[in-house]
Structure 1
Amino acid sequence: MLFKYVETCFGAKPGPYQYLTSWRDKNDPAEGEFSFMIDTKGYPQQVTTNGTKIFYSTGPWNGYIFSGVSSDRMFRFLNFSLEFTNKGVSYGYETLDSSMLSRTMLKLNPGGATERVLWSKERQSWDTVYSYPLDQCEYFSTCDVNSICNVNNVPICEWLQGFTPKFQAKWDSHDWSGGCVRRTNLSCDYGDWFKKYTGIKLPETSSSWFNRSLSLKECKTLCLRNCSCTAYANSDIRDGGSGCLLWFHDIADMRKHPDRGQEIHIRLSFSERDPRSYKKRLARIVVGLVSFIVVLTILVWATSKRMKGMKQPKPVVKKAIPWKHMMEKENSSLPKMFDFSTIDIATNHFSNTNKLGEGGFGTVHQGKLIDGQEIAVKRLSKTSRQGTEEFKNEVKLMATLQHRNLVKLLGCSIQQDEKLLIYEFMPNRSLDYFIFDTMRGKLLDWAKRLKIIEGIARGLMYLHQDSRLRIIHRDIKTSNILLDDNMTPKISDFGLARIFGIDQAEANTSRVMGTHGYMPPEYAVHGSFSTKSDVFSFGVIVIEMISGRKNRGFHDPHHHLLNLLGHAWRLWNEERPLELMDEILDDGGDLCLEILRCIHVGLLCVQQNPENRPNMSSVVLMLNGEKLLPKPSEPGFYIGKDNIADTESSKQYEKCSVNEVSISSLEVR
């Protein structure tokens, strides 16, 4: 491989990003104005840019070569390849005859022209295989949008069928700025049709969508179902064509190919059909309608005659109502329904650079709507444990809940197998992103951690007793606590939540779902859950935030059978609770009482017996120092021997140190 171009991505930001840059001029090697790179914002294409503007585009990759490049001479010398995964793009080519050619080189001139040259062993010189741009049509979007550039025509620009110049006077004077607009708007149904163009260099693809496994027929169907889709084509022309490439809204930089080109199908309104074709279709419709009426009349007559001879009518079988309509009937305050294409474009086609996280349910992507609003999109995978019922449940619940410590649901989208939930965007991601990382954990001092603990408690208190519905979340964990730009915590992911009646205390399920390490023993073992299940999960989060360590996977260095809760309980019994504290936290005397109080509250919440755990309204009072704290008992899943000596319940903390602290009841005012 004599030349290889690579773009890789890491996390949410691209890099390292490799590209060529021109010299400032032929005698000055300083960085110039032009750059050559592979654009992967949509389907991969090569572009030369002048600053932030595209100067030249090769068109998208077609399986052999980039579609706008003249291939006649290229294929005699070079074999091209392009591989792209969710981690990056790799493009390269190799010489076909090493006896004639030994080296290749790509040159980007100071004026923006790109040359591909080969070293000829026979002539002992560099041979230019291809250079571009060669003519006016090769400059990016010469004719602007919704038009075709053809260098062999006079004038070189022509508008697509069904379109007309936006500024006719300019167009007549060969000023094509503004491009073309539709004569008739699309009807957004199956009355629309597609005009096929052949021998075309495909339009630029920075805002395109693609799927390499779909057929061209499936591609057409998918485009018709999306009101914003304006054109489709095969993404790969090998072996008769495969893959699907869709364009949305206006299309730009389309021209007649110099030697081969591809097919593209442009979407048009039904009224833009050829009149003869329109008459034929109308005749077919009339014939079909007449036939349908005749058949229907015969069926009605036959059914009526049969019914007269029957003593009792057959029961009417009602058609199943789609769950979406059931939701609309059950809840009139549903969130906004988004079109899938709107969210697809907002998330840059769910690109990995926009991915915020991934779990058993699917992925979460960051996006930006046309009005500039930032969103977070939860996209359920087809193998997700959260099925249709859980999806319906989350939408239904979130539509009724409003609290500053609950994430706000903006809307949802349902299209075939795609189920999307659209939330307000939380710029600081989730709680686990900070507290379990040594460096990021330093951004959360004790004051911020206490604020987050109190916010989660208030959110749960709202769910359990202050909202119109009594909600049991069942999946409270650090990754489901999102943080806004002020580090205000917001509870998210209500896919497993359940509604309780006013007088209902607990419920049972044979389908235990949740996250190990946060599930209480009565739920994990017996499937029994109540408000005290969420209290247990909250207590785990408190202990994790104080220690900076995860409950699941933690092993006490001196007692290997103990998890983090057991470790905290042992330190509490041995009157060394502050040893639980994260090393990056300031252990100053002014804070130790607050930290001790939170350890105490956390242990009360994770007690083995759910009846011993406080409710969330009591937890809020305890955190504010307005309630006497009872002595905790051993936590759930504790495996060890309780050696604590009983102490008087009225004993106070007189001195705040690791080695001298008495563990019983605590009252802080």
Structure 2
Amino acid sequence: MGTFAFFILSHSLISSLTYIKFCFAFNKITSNQSISDGQILVSSGQRFELGFFSPGNNKNRYLGIWYKNAPHIAVWVANRNSPITDSSGVLTITNNATLVLHNRMKSPIWSSNTSRVAESPFVQLLDTGNLVIMDKTRRSTESYIWQSFDFPSDTRLPDMKIGKESDDDLERYLVSWKSADDPSPGAFTYRIDDNHGLPQLVILGGSAKTYRTGPWNGIQFSSFTRFINLAYSPVFVYNKDNSYYVYEPYNYTAFTRLTLNQSGFLQRYRLNERSNEWSLLYTLPKDQCDSYRQCGANGICRIQKAPVCECLNGFTPKLQEDWQMQDWSSGCMRRTALDCQSEEGFLKVEKVKLPDLLDQFWLNKSMSLRECKAECLKNCSCVAYANSNISEGGSGCLMWFGDLIDIREFTGEGNDYDIYIRLAASELESIHNSNKKNKLVIILVVSSLSGLLIMGMVLWCGIWKKRIKRKGEDWELPLVDFSTIVTATNNFSLANMLGEGGFGPVYKANLSNGQEIAVKRLSRNSRQGLEEFKNEVTLIAKLQHRNLVRLLGCCIQKEERMLIYEYMSNKSLDYFIFDQDRSALLPWGKRFNIFMGIARGLLYLHQDSRLRIIHRDLKTSNILLDSEMNPKISDFGLARNFESDQIYAKTRRVIGTHGYMSPEYVVHGKFSMKSDVFSFGVLLLEIVSGRRNRGFFHSKHNHNLLGHAWILWHEDKGLELMDACLKDSCVESSQVLRCIQVGLLCVQKLSEDRPPMSSVVSMLGNEGSTIPQPKQPGFFTESSSTDDEVESKDIGSHTNDTATITMLEPR
């Protein structure tokens, strides 16, 4: 069956998992605890769950890890070879730090086979999807006694390594499922092939290659350029002790996964947060030319031609009848045999995936390309040579002595390996004469068309410039040339990238006059980006306030859409407030100034600007801080303009960030100025406490941060809400309590009970103002929670075991 038939088959076999979760959820378990079928382990940020599931129509039970709030896709399975036939499975951790899975007969059917000793071992599911065994006496990533990332299933997550490390003998690689209903090891693996010193990634069907990337060139694998995601940085470590490949994320909030499916295709997915659906970014092999040995020996695959396979220049098909039937497996042979006694030379073939290194090759990593050519000519068996290291013009000589296997032509930039094929002098002369004739024909055709083309381009550019100029005038916003942005961002270098959101990536840029700016570039894969672009341009361009981020201009050229902002050197508020070390850089005085600035900016949007604006996505990550820690509200992609007499609006498309949205917006789709007031109240309580509302938990109750603040307030213990790093500093307690009280007023359940922003500013800024007692906050119901992550802030009131109620979910 052909490559595309396999792809269609694999794409149609969408797995369906049945998760049965009852009423208990944990963040970690210790040696005196266990997880039974129906109980789950949840990561602290509510990203992943571990528990028992049945895939598709399979009735057997497996212990696995899956996404919690995204469509439930299993990313790791423990007992792939040993399913449990009923719901009797129990997972425990022994005193010697070994995970053991038992069946109904209490017989161990799977274990972690841990060999290290721990004084007080426990198991925790991290927000990366990594299940780890740690010792309470040593809590660091270097002290993981065991981790599931060392034993991948069919899915690779960010920070998961493929290959080997120096401190163990483990080879980490992906193994496909046998079928959509059967997670037992299938026929395909995805791993690193050492490739005789030029490592590459390969997919194997059994022991036979079905796909290879081509060698690592010092920057990326040669066929991977078009697939690099700007949210992640590919890192390959290769030396005498290490050989592993990993994607290091710039932004942990994005959901992405790489899965080797049961048909042997490697597929990269990314979660679209708006639709909560997985979007397929790419598949490998991506086309016919990616299939290993597609054109046989000494053939070259060119995907833009039909048929895709050709013999290399100087070669002819071995079996012409087979090639006429588009069966290219027999490959090609030389038209004119090489003869060392006669004059011979080399034909350069540009931008290809180098032939696979089998048994007949020679590698010298220090030799120049000129020396490599001379060395190949001296050896009568050498049939081709190439530079083995194209990274930054590196030297290196690679020579082949047999058939050239699995060559494909690349058409994109970055895949610039060139190979020099040895040919007889008569063949080189024939090719040279043929090229001369082809060039003459091309020159005649191009010259006759160039005049018409130039005239058309002049007319089109004139019309386009008029349209762009008219659009910029409508928006009252300066337009910046695309070339200026390219230069300022160093051609959108990854080193200049500040982060990535729903709109697309954001880059730091330096203009020629020395001004620093931030450039938000619309992602071509973004479904909501164009709408957000128009929204921000039409709204922010007309707003001016010291606590709103300034929009300096925009860039529109062909498909490119970019917004240009003032650069904020101290990043966003969440970068400081939720980090144990950096939060100490925000003493109480600075925190008070921050939420006063946010309040004034919000008041301007609601009351004092030319337009009445409802932000709809106020959260810590959308509060940027300048060099003096002054706050500026940013990201108006979801904002809406209200008429002067308009009280509220309603939408069927509820968009925003969980933990900050008001009850009436979440439940009924109603939003108003009071929706922003609710979000501000959440912000205020988060700034005071240094804790996130979403994911917060306490040992005595399962309320969120709002509920916890309400309980403390009614117990006259409001100061206990204050961030631990502030408690030893000089803080005016009455001011802290006033801020907590105002925050609770803002998050009251009913919108009509919440104060307008004018009252909020007055109550915060005036010590003598009378402040009413708050009523019950929104979402005052007990919900599930989890322990904090290993790297997060250590909050003594957190607990290990909490409760949640969930339902049947499909994969």
TM-score scaled by length of structure 1: 0.51
Q: By how many angstroms is 1:257 displaced?
A: 11
User: Is the contact between residue 335 and residue 399 of structure 1 (CA under 8 Å) also seen in structure 2?
Assistant: no
Give the counterpart of 1:468 among 606, 610, 616. Answer: 610
Q: For residue 599 of structure 1, what is the aligned residue in structure 2?
A: 740
Residue 333 (structure 1) aligned with residue 483 (structure 2): no
Residue of structure 2 in register with 1:245 after alignment: 413
Q: 2:764 aligns with which of 623, 633, 646?
A: 623
Paired residue for 2:575?
433
CA–CA distance in structure 1, aligned partners of residues 499 and 444 of structure 2: 54
Residues 522 and 385 of structure 1: CA distance in aligned 2, closer, same or farther (over 3 Å): farther
1:621, CA displacement in angstroms?
Answer: 1.2
Deviations 1:189-230 (A, max 9, x none): xxxxxxxxxx999999879xxxxxxxxxxxxxxxxxxxxxxx
For the 8 Å contact 2:600–2:761, the answer to whether it is kept is yes
Which secondary structure does the structure 1 equivalent of 2:410 belong to? coil
Q: Distance in 2 between matches of 1:287 and 1:243?
A: 27
Which of 706, 712, 723 lines up with 1:582 in the alignment? 723
The amino acid that maps onto 2:632 is: K
CA distance in 1, matches of 2:705, 2:664: 19
Q: CA deviation at 1:395?
A: 1.4
Q: Match for residue 393 of structure 1?
A: 535
Give the direction of change, closer, same or farther, for the CA distance of 1:594–1:499 in structure 2 (3 Å limit).
Answer: same
Equivalences for residues 538-553 of structure 1 within 5 A: 538-553=680-695
Partner of residue 458, structure 1: 600
Following TM superposition, by how much is the alpha carbon of 1:413 offset from its aligned partner in structure 2, in angstroms? 3.0
For residue 620 of structure 1, report the CA deviation from its aligned partner. 1.2
Rounded to whole Å, the distance in 1 between the matches of 2:733 and 2:647 is 36
Aligned pairs for 1:177-326 within 5 A: 239-245=407-413
Q: Residues 472 and 478 of structure 2 are in contact (CA less than 8 Å); yes or no, is this contact kept in structure 1? A: no
Question: 2:518, 2:567 within 8 Å by CA — same for their partners in 1?
Answer: yes
Question: What is the rounded CA distance, in whole Å, between the counterparts of 1:327 and 1:592 in structure 2?
Answer: 56
User: CA shift at 1:505, angstroms?
Assistant: 1.4
Q: Look up the SS of the partner of 2:655 in the other structure.
A: coil
The alignment status of 1:559 with 2:701, answered yes or no, reads yes
Q: Note the C-alpha offset of 1:415.
A: 4.6
Offset from partner CA, 1:382-421 (integer Å, 9 cap, x none): 4435332221111111211111111112223345554332
2:755 to 592, 614, 635: 614
Is residue 346 from structure 1 mapped to residue 464 from structure 2 by the alignment? no
Aligned 8 A contact 1:366 1:377 in 2 = yes
Aligned residue for 1:372? 514
Aligned residue for 1:659? none
Larger relative contact order (Cα-Cα within 8 Å, sequence gap ≥ 6): 2
Aligned-pair CA distance for 1:277: 8.7
Task: Say what the alpha-carbon RMSD is for the aligned residues.
Answer: 4.6
Match of 1:568 among 684, 706, 709: 709
Q: Find the partner of 1:88 among 228, 235, 254.
A: 235
Query: How far apart are residue 334 of structure 1 and its match?
Result: 2.0
For 1:280 and 1:621, locate their aligned partners in 2 and report how far apart those are by CA, in whole Å: 76
Number of the residue aligned with 1:107:
none
AA partner of residue 458 (structure 1): R
Q: Would you say the 8 A contact 2:365–2:388 is kept in 1?
A: no
Displacement after TM superposition at 1:449 (Å): 0.4
Q: Helix, strand or coil: the match of 1:569?
A: helix
CA distance in 1, matches of 2:562, 2:711: 45
- Match of residue 672 from structure 2: 530
Q: Is the 8 A contact 1:63 1:238 kept in 2?
A: no
Q: Name the counterpart of 1:296.
A: none
Residue equivalent to 1:410: 552
- Residues 383/512 of structure 1: CA separation in 2 closer, same or farther (3 Å cut): farther
Shift of 1:350: 3.7
* Contact in 1 for aligned 2:677/2:747 (Cα 8 Å): yes
Equivalent position of 2:792 in the other structure: none
The equivalent of 1:228 in structure 2 is none
**1:499 counterpart = 2:641:** yes
- The one-letter code matched in structure 2 to 1:529 is F
**Alpha carbons 1:338, 1:411 under 8 Å: kept:** no
Task: Look up the equivalent residue of 1:462 and give its one-letter code.
Answer: Y
Give the counterpart letter for 1:599 in structure 2.
I
1:372 Cα shift?
Answer: 3.0
- Is the Cα contact below 8 Å between 2:612 and 2:641 reproduced in 1? yes
Q: Distance in 2 between matches of 1:604 and 1:394?
A: 30
The percentage of counterpart residues that share the same residue type is 53
CA distance in 2, matches of 1:483, 1:597: 24
Distance in 1 (alpha carbons) for counterparts of 2:742 and 2:561: 39
Aligned partner of 1:490 in structure 2 is: 632
In structure 2, how many angstroms separate the alpha carbons of the residues matched to 1:585 and 1:345?
Answer: 44
Q: How far is 1:624 from its partner? A: 0.9
Question: What SS does the corresponding residue of 1:245 show, helix, strand or coil?
Answer: coil
The 2-side partners of 1:289 and 1:206 are apart by 36
1:241–1:610 distance in 2 versus 1, CA, 3 Å:
same
Tell me, in whole angstroms, the C-alpha distance in 1 between the residues paired with 2:470 and 2:664: 32
Describe the SS at the equivalent of 1:555: coil
Q: Render the CA deviation track for 1:343-388: whole Å, top value 9, x for unaligned.
A: 3443344444333223344332323234332222223434435332
Partners of 1:463 and 1:406 in 2: CA distance? 9
Q: Which residue of structure 2 aligns with residue 362 of structure 1?
A: 504
- TM-score of the two chains, using structure 2 as the length reference: 0.43
Q: Alpha-carbon deviation of 1:604? A: 1.0
Return the offset for 1:553.
1.0
- How far apart, CA to CA, are the structure 1 residues paired with 2:534 and 2:705? 35
- Answer with 1 or 2: which has the greater Rg: 1
The one-letter amino acid paired with 2:694 is R
Alignment-derived partner of residue 76 in structure 1: none
Conserved in 2, the CA contact under 8 Å of 1:546 and 1:599? yes
Deviations 1:457-492 (A, max 9, x none): 111111111111111100000000000110010110
User: Partners in 1 of 2:724 and 2:465 — Cα distance?
Assistant: 54
Partner letter of residue 583 of structure 2? G
- Cα deviations across residues 473-524 of structure 1 (Å, max 9, x unaligned)? 0000000000011001011000000111111111111111111100001111
Using the alignment, how far apart are the partners of 1:325 and 1:500 within structure 2?
28
The 1:281–1:583 alpha-carbon spacing in structure 2 relative to 1, beyond 3 Å, is closer
Change (3 A) 1:606 1:65: closer
Higher deviation after alignment, 360-369 or 490-499:
360-369
Aligned to 1:479: 621
Question: What is the rounded CA distance, in whole Å, between the counterparts of 1:288 and 1:633 in structure 2?
Answer: 71
Encode CA deviations 1:242-292: one digit per residue, 9 max, x unaligned: 142289xxxxxx9x99999xxxxxxxxxxxxx99998876655789999xx
Structure 2 CA distance for partners of 1:64 and 1:553, relative to 1, 3 Å: closer
In 1: Cα distance, 2:567 partner to 2:690 partner: 25
Q: Offset at 1:563?
A: 0.8
- Distance change (3 Å), C-alpha of 1:443 and 1:571: same
Aligned in 2, Cα 1:635/1:65: closer, same or farther, shift over 3 Å?
A: closer
Equivalent-residue separation in structure 1 for 2:685 and 2:645 (angstroms): 31
Other-structure match for 1:184: none
> Which position in structure 2 is the counterpart of 1:300?
none
